[in-house]
Amino acid sequence: MTQTIDKDLIIFANRLANESRKILRNYFRKKIKIRYKSDQSPVTEADTKVEKKLRMLIQRKYPKHGIIGEEFENIQINAEYLWCLDPLDGTAAFITGKPLFGTLIGLLREKIPIFGIIEHPILGERWSGGINNPAKLNGKNTKVRKCKNISNAMLYATSPEMFEGKNKKSFQRLSTMAKKTQYGADCYAYGLLASGHIDLIAEAKMKPCDFLALVPVVRASGGIISDWDGKPLNINSGGCVLASGNSKIHNQALKIINGK
């Protein structure tokens, strides 16, 4: 099946991002209750309020669509269209006053990611893109840069703590080969990649809500994104993600990660 995206769906996805922006701006750097999940990741009233709002809007507009969310149970995951929501990617940044957190909104058709939004409410920046839709930053086309060798690559990861055991050794090999490694950008790093400011992102312990919205944006900007075996990302993928500005550097990184 040839994938296409109805313009109404794109308009609606941006409406969801607008709603998230309003809510998160209202909570940012305000006194807010924080609780910690079993994996010790933080969650706040802002996370849950955004997701509840977006779910309500989706179910009202598209009752036959499914929803995968970060904070609540999945709905109709075998539906033709599936929305993937991470209401607050980077909650640790949010609760410490750092404005690099974002909302991730992904749309899948027949389990294939076809459109995504990376919304940064405090910075007022929004990347979007998908199949037959070029990557855009605030409405202007954007694309990756063409770094030819890993030795010149700027590498990002959210935190070194996300790598353990074999994954830690793999990341250390990649970091050693890259020109520079930076941490702490959360989903903002993928926007930087899509705009040609960095070259590589390697992460682990990711959930589908953490990466499915990123896939269409990275691809629409001319980049490559896969798991650490080079396989396409989907709702059943493991938690290791590699994003690159082009296939040449992506293949170099895969070889280093896998010790080849």
In-domain check, residue 80: yes
Q: Which of 75, 108, 141 is the last residue of a domain?
A: 141
- Clarify whether residues 101 and 167 are in a common domain: no
Residue whose token pair is 């109709």: 76
Do 164 and 113 share a structural domain?
Answer: no
Is residue 95 a part of any domain in this protein?
yes
Q: What is the per-residue pLDDT across 92-138, written as a single tens digit (0 to 9) for each?
A: 999 999 999 999 999 999 999 999 999 999 999 999 999 999 999 99
117 in the same domain as 243? no
Q: In this structure, are 12 and 89 located in the same domain?
A: yes
Contact present, 145 and 199 (Cβ < 8 Å): yes
Residue 13 has pLDDT above 50, yes or no: yes
18 has a pLDDT exceeding 90: yes
- Whole-number Å distance between alpha carbons of 129 and 115: 6
Percent of the chain scoring above 90 in pLDDT: 89
- The boundaries of the domain holding residue 50 are 7-141
Q: pLDDT at position 65, please?
A: 98
Residue type, 25: R
Judgement on whether residues 120 and 157 belong to the same structural domain of the protein: no
Quickly state the pLDDT bin for 39 (edges 50, 70, 90).
confident
Instruction: For residues 69 and 194, state if they share a domain.
Output: no
pLDDT recorded at residue 260 = 76
Q: How far apart are CA 219 and CA 194, in angstroms?
A: 8
Same domain flag for 137 and 158: no
SS3 of the chain: the string is CCCCCCHHHHHHHHHHHHHHHHHHHHHCCCCCCEEECCCCCEEEHHHHHHHHHHHHHHHHHCCCCEEEECCCCCECCCCCEEEEEEEEECHHHHHCCCCCCEEEEEEEECCEEEEEEEEECCCCEEEEEECCEEEEECCEECCCCCCCCHHHCEEEECCHHHCCHHHHHHHHHHHHHCCEEEECCCCHHHHHHHCCCCCEEEECCCCHHHHCCHHHHHHHCCCEEECCCCCCCCCCCCCCEEEECCHHHHHHHHHHHCCC
Q: What confidence tens digit (pLDDT) does each residue in 214-252 have?
A: 999 999 999 999 999 999 999 999 999 999 999 999 999
Which domain CATH number covers 209?
A: 3.40.190.80
Q: How far apart (Å, rounded) are the C-alpha atoms in residues 83 and 182? A: 30
Grade residue 86 by pLDDT with cuts at 50, 70 and 90: very high
pLDDT mean across residues, the chain = 95
> What's the structural domain count of the chain?
2
pTM, two decimal places: 0.95
Average pLDDT over residues 61-86: 95
In a domain, 220, yes or no: yes
Predicted local confidence at residue 209, as pLDDT: 95
Q: What angle do CA 4, 9, 14 make, to 5 degrees?
A: 125
User: Is the domain of 244 the same as that of 190?
Assistant: yes
pLDDT of 12 > 90? The answer is yes
Contact at 8 Å (CB) between 126 and 113? Answer: no
Whether residue 2 lies inside any domain: the answer is no
The verdict on 195 and 70 lying in the same domain is: no
Domain contains 63? yes
28 and 121 inside one domain: yes
pLDDT, residue 1, reads: 47
Give residue 33's pLDDT: 85
Residue 123 in any domain: the answer is: yes
What CATH number has the domain bearing residue 120? 3.30.540.10
d(CA 10, CA 81): 13
What band does 2 get if pLDDT is binned at 50, 70 and 90? low
The answer to whether residues 131 and 238 belong to one domain is: no
Whether residue 246 is contained in a domain is answered as yes
Q: Is 227 among the domain residues?
A: yes
Indicate the residue among 100, 122, 141 that finishes a domain: 141
Q: Are residues 133 and 22 in the same domain?
A: yes
Q: Read off the pLDDT band of 30 (50, 70, 90).
A: very high
